[in-house]
Structure 1
Amino acid sequence: MNTAAGALECVDIRKGFAGVPVLKGITLTLEPGTVTALAGENGAGKSTLMKIASGQYRADSGSVSVAGEHLPVGNPQAANQLGVAIVPQELASIPDMSVYENLFIGRELRRGGFLRRRAMKSEARAMLAKFGLDISPDLQMGSLSVGVRQIIEIAKATTRGAKVLLLDEPTSAIAEKEVARLAAVVRQLRAEGVALLFTTHKMEEIRAMSDRVIVLRDGNLVADSPIGDVTDDDIVRAMIGRELEDLFPEIHPHGNEVLLEATDLRVGDRAPVNLTVRRGEILGLAGLVGAGRTELLETIFGMRARTSGVVTVSGSKVRAGNPAASIVAGMALVPEDRKGSGAVMGMSILDNTTLPRISAFSTAGWLHGRSRQQTAAEVMDSLRLRRRTLNQPVETLSGGNQQKVVLGRWLTGNVDVMLLDEPTRGVDVGARNEIYRIITDLAQSGMAVVMASSDMPEILSLTHRTLVMRDGGFAAELSREELSHPEIQDRIFRLASGQEAHSEKDLSK
């Protein structure tokens, strides 16, 4: 073994699918005890590179070596044996099995023909404790949060001797407190000499966790620098290949006409709330994980039953617990989980676009092919959806373009109220800019927009007014002027966590 070699070396890696090149000659080296961020827009080739490095995909050409030893192409078992492990975005844990069973799957401790369950549980506790997890090894994996399951997968990989750990979008579906715990785990592994490579769309995580950043664009490696040598703007320019205009577009004044009103709306056993949203207004919902933002949006839209209260659109009452009635009234909901709830990934762009209003495009069960095609094309063109054809499956699109489909499917008919739940989660910076412009354009066209977001810059820059939620209720209402205050981020956290009460004086600003 060549001890002078890097922990992982990829040389001139090329890969294409169906004749379309995805990686165009990538060469990089990961050094032991370093953390490298792999940045790039969706579709740049990041996940493909990781899967080749971990033996899951076979490169068309090029080579991968681990600590100087050649990795046989397309051989994940060989990669594991050489010390390469990957924690994919879609976790590979088995939810119906216990924590200790997941940790020891494929390498169970046995005495004769019998499993040594007590010994496995004892070792599992020690493995978990190393990463600060104080949980029972008997718990079912499916009962745990995504963040905890993710760290268990990391524990499984590193206790099997992994010297190279690849993390694909590790923070895309976990809460803020779990991001902090993951960052601590990353620092611990770096100190132990593990080489880590992770992908993320969040600039603050690149800067906080990495020693170095590598940027892919259109299958090419376009930047490779120590993190201290580049600015956020440098990284963004490398990702998108152009100067990014101001990320957040200007928001325009809103009208006075109330389009959405919720009066004494009770969600479950929580206290009733009241809100109004005017034509052209973007209302933000801020708060910590579990504050009740998603539940409120789903109740307004009728996906959840109200305990009590009234919802009106343009002065007309909307039937409770009935999404179809909400759609007829002019409401639309873009959910947080676009893959699970927003779009049917295996269906085409065309079918997804016309699905919510299929009756408008059919007669006696027969679809109007031409009008469907024309309407879908007009809507997707207006959103600048990058596609080969309307018959392309949504799952083949980048995250930003998938989100455009989820947004655009509602624009085939009348919408007065748009409810957005985490509209840019898992979307790269270039596509975020486009989605922000879509949101402000919708408001300027006269819609009332309600946007729940955990991304503080979105709340501060895109909303006319923001409600801070805590325990299902409103802890504060912040005006545009208050949202522009230099200390507002800290204040929102204190309001959301109950450390500060909002005064009547503040509400009148």
Structure 2
Amino acid sequence: MAEHGRDASEAGGAPQQAGTALLECRNITKGFGGVPVLKGVSLHLEPGTITALAGENGAGKSTLMKIASGQYRPDGGEVFVGGQLLPAGNPQAAHKLGVAIVPQELASILELSVYENLFVGRELRGPFGLRRKAMIEEARKQLEVFGLDLDPRKRMGDLAVGVRQIIEIVKATNTGAGVILLDEPSSAISEREVGRLMAVMRKLREDGVALLFTTHKMEEMRALADRVVVLRDGNLVVDLPLSELSDDDIVTAMIGRELEDLFPDRGGHSDEVLLELDELQVPGASEPMSLTVRRGEIVGLSGLVGAGRTELMETIFGVRTSQGGSVKVRGKKVKPGEPAAAIGANIALVPEDRKGSGAVLTMSVLDNATLPDLPMFSTAGMLRGGFRRSKIREVMDSVRLRSRGLDQSMGTLSGGNQQKVVLARWLTSDVDVLLLDEPTRGVDVGARSEIYRIITDLAAEGMAVLMASSDMPEILSLSHRALVLREGAVVGELSADDLADSGVQDRIFRLASGLDSEGNETNAAEPARKDA
């Protein structure tokens, strides 16, 4: 990485262009329980810029943000805001100096209204008490500036997470924040809300605010960031303009090895068909779906947002009821519209929305892993404690789960480890067909490598894997075959040789978007092979 400028050997030096920085972190060190988390990190944020803070889970990103916002006291080093020294571990001082943080777990007061949240701690008062009408009108104006057309009297808890997030940003700017730190701002919101969040962040940049945000998504860095800062094992290893970095550069800096090492080798597969869809009518699809997946085969599903990949997965698993056709496992039909029947047929689903559909975050790892097969772990309505614990510990060890133990709450695990639990809990009993819907969404690059290993290992053990992914490298590097979907229909099939072709990404995009080689719209689908 040295040819790109500042690398690990330089990272502990003085911040560049310190005179123009709104926020400076100088040689910050921090450890917990004797374990170093930050090792002399220096960072500067300039007005009117957006900086992406990248790194694997555990690299020190959230810790650095909490020190910069006064929530944590560093073991060494200093933080300056607008040239003034920030008293260590003093969030009130950081707030007064204009530093605001929007954490992953939002600090909204859900029982209060929007306007009450916006004015909490700085309420408008008159001789006869609170000036509620004035606060409501002022809140309405503030929300309109950021494109939010909603009644300020609405209860905060009734709003979508993405809307609450933007309201937190509105609150920060209206209290004079010149520096805004956003920790994984898009991790729990929809694509539509991400677009609105990006628009807000760009507006703040135009207004001269300095923004720092963490993300695992390369497309978000490309869409927003002026600079990219990468932490690895508590060290700052890259601090460069985005224009000077390729995606491979960023990923390599994050994981400390070349991008090619992320993906394990694909094994072979047999000719035995485990999953067969015959004219399956998926709700909302433009035509029936027929496909096969063989033992040991990984079939990737590619397509644009709304192409119908999730709907297909949920119909196979019985979450949605098909309107015709059949799902067969080992040649036997699976009763439609009944997840219990799918589980009985040895089908497992790892859903796209891990936090909403895949796990109960307030429950322990042990209880989450018990959910898919309660009958196995109980007798006469009583849980078999010792057997349950040993069986689940075995499967969690097989996926190298990093946790404090089976009793740790799911909500306190990293995204990658949550995903391991959601996947591994199916392995306590036999699985023939594994359905993976966006298996690495919200997972850092290092944990992705481990999940890729798990997927290829399970295929090598004889599972048929159907994997939907918006991540093109996953489709290209893990799949034995890939099917491209548009409007719920297969519009093209790509073999392993096709996936290795240099022009395959353009070909997939054309198929997914309905464009011909000249960029014109077409309704013609490429003929799918007979084994599609």
Give the TM-score range, shorter chain.
0.7 to 0.9
Partner residue in 2 for 1:311: 327
What's the CA shift for 1:330?
0.3
Q: Relative to structure 1, is the Cα distance of residues 286 and 122 closer, same or farther in structure 2, using a 3 angstrom cutoff?
A: farther
> What number of residue pairs does the alignment pair up?
504
Give the RMSD, CA atoms, in angstroms.
3.6
Q: Does 2:183 match 1:136?
A: no
Partner residue in 2 for 1:503: 524
| Cα distance in 1 between the residues matched to 2:472 and 2:308 | 17
Partner residue in 2 for 1:49: 64
Partner residue in 2 for 1:488: 507
Q: Relative to structure 1, is the Cα distance of residues 339 and 173 closer, same or farther in structure 2, using a 3 angstrom cutoff?
A: closer
- State the TM-score, normalizing by the size of structure 2: 0.81
What's the CA shift for 1:82?
1.4
Q: Does 2:447 match 1:431?
A: yes
What's the CA shift for 1:169?
1.1
Q: Decide whether the 8 Å contact of 2:511 with 2:525 is kept in 1.
A: no
What's the CA shift for 1:351?
4.8
- Within the candidate set 178, 197, 200, 2:212 is matched to 197
Task: State which drifts further: 449-458 or 40-49.
Answer: 449-458
Q: Report Cα offsets for 1:186-212 as digits up to 9, x if no partner.
A: 333223221111111123433443232
| Cα distance in 2 between the residues matched to 1:125 and 1:281 | 55
What's the CA shift for 1:215?
2.0
What's the CA shift for 1:416?
0.6
| Cα distance in 2 between the residues matched to 1:52 and 1:486 | 42
SS in 2 for 1:77: helix
Partner residue in 2 for 1:398: 414
Task: State which drifts further: 267-276 or 210-219.
Answer: 267-276
| Cα distance in 1 between the residues matched to 2:68 and 2:385 | 44
Q: Does 2:403 match 1:382?
A: no
Q: Relative to structure 1, is the Cα distance of residues 269 and 197 closer, same or farther in structure 2, using a 3 angstrom cutoff?
A: closer
| Cα distance in 1 between the residues matched to 2:160 and 2:512 | 22
- Within the candidate set 294, 306, 316, 1:300 is matched to 316
Partner residue in 2 for 1:233: 248
What's the CA shift for 1:64?
2.8
Q: Does 2:344 match 1:325?
A: no
| Cα distance in 1 between the residues matched to 2:129 and 2:469 | 50
Partner residue in 1 for 2:9: none
Q: Relative to structure 1, is the Cα distance of residues 330 and 500 closer, same or farther in structure 2, using a 3 angstrom cutoff?
A: farther
Q: Decide whether the 8 Å contact of 2:276 with 2:290 is kept in 1.
A: yes
| Cα distance in 2 between the residues matched to 1:390 and 1:358 | 17
- State the TM-score, normalizing by the size of structure 1: 0.84
| Cα distance in 2 between the residues matched to 1:152 and 1:394 | 27
Q: Report Cα offsets for 1:377-398 as digits up to 9, x if no partner.
A: 5433433334565555544443
| Cα distance in 2 between the residues matched to 1:54 and 1:44 | 18
- Opposite residue 161 of structure 1, the aligned amino acid is G
- Opposite residue 32 of structure 1, the aligned amino acid is P
Q: Report Cα offsets for 1:240-299 as digits up to 9, x if no partner.
A: 233443433444554443322344545557667323332233333344445543343233
What's the CA shift for 1:433?
2.1
Q: Relative to structure 1, is the Cα distance of residues 26 and 465 closer, same or farther in structure 2, using a 3 angstrom cutoff?
A: same
- Opposite residue 217 of structure 2, the aligned amino acid is K
Q: Decide whether the 8 Å contact of 1:262 with 1:273 is kept in 2.
A: no
Q: Relative to structure 1, is the Cα distance of residues 200 and 21 closer, same or farther in structure 2, using a 3 angstrom cutoff?
A: same
Q: Report Cα offsets for 1:361-414 as digits up to 9, x if no partner.
A: 555567666655554454334333345655555444432222222211111221
| Cα distance in 1 between the residues matched to 2:113 and 2:303 | 32
- Opposite residue 335 of structure 2, the aligned amino acid is R
| Cα distance in 1 between the residues matched to 2:511 and 2:121 | 47
Q: Report Cα offsets for 1:310-355 as digits up to 9, x if no partner.
A: 4332222333443333222101111223334333445554554455
Q: Report Cα offsets for 1:217-243 as digits up to 9, x if no partner.
A: 223333333334444334333322334
Q: Percent sequence identity over matched residues? A: 64
Structure 2: gaps of 5 or more residues: 1-17
Q: Decide whether the 8 Å contact of 2:490 with 2:528 is kept in 1.
A: no
- Opposite residue 437 of structure 2, the aligned amino acid is D
Q: Relative to structure 1, is the Cα distance of residues 243 and 117 closer, same or farther in structure 2, using a 3 angstrom cutoff?
A: same
| Cα distance in 1 between the residues matched to 2:417 and 2:79 | 32
Q: Decide whether the 8 Å contact of 1:216 with 1:223 is kept in 2.
A: yes
| Cα distance in 1 between the residues matched to 2:165 and 2:306 | 20
Alignment of 1:436-447 (within 5 A): 436-447=452-463
Partner residue in 2 for 1:8: 23
Q: Decide whether the 8 Å contact of 1:12 with 1:63 is kept in 2.
A: yes
What's the CA shift for 1:10?
2.6
| Cα distance in 2 between the residues matched to 1:61 and 1:406 | 39
Q: Decide whether the 8 Å contact of 2:68 with 2:79 is kept in 1.
A: yes
Partner residue in 1 for 2:491: 476
| Cα distance in 1 between the residues matched to 2:109 and 2:273 | 48
Partner residue in 2 for 1:337: 353
Q: Decide whether the 8 Å contact of 1:248 with 1:462 is kept in 2.
A: yes
Q: Report Cα offsets for 1:441-461 as digits up to 9, x if no partner.
A: 322332222222232332344
What's the CA shift for 1:495?
3.5
Q: Decide whether the 8 Å contact of 2:304 with 2:513 is kept in 1.
A: no
- Opposite residue 440 of structure 2, the aligned amino acid is T
Q: Does 2:248 match 1:215?
A: no
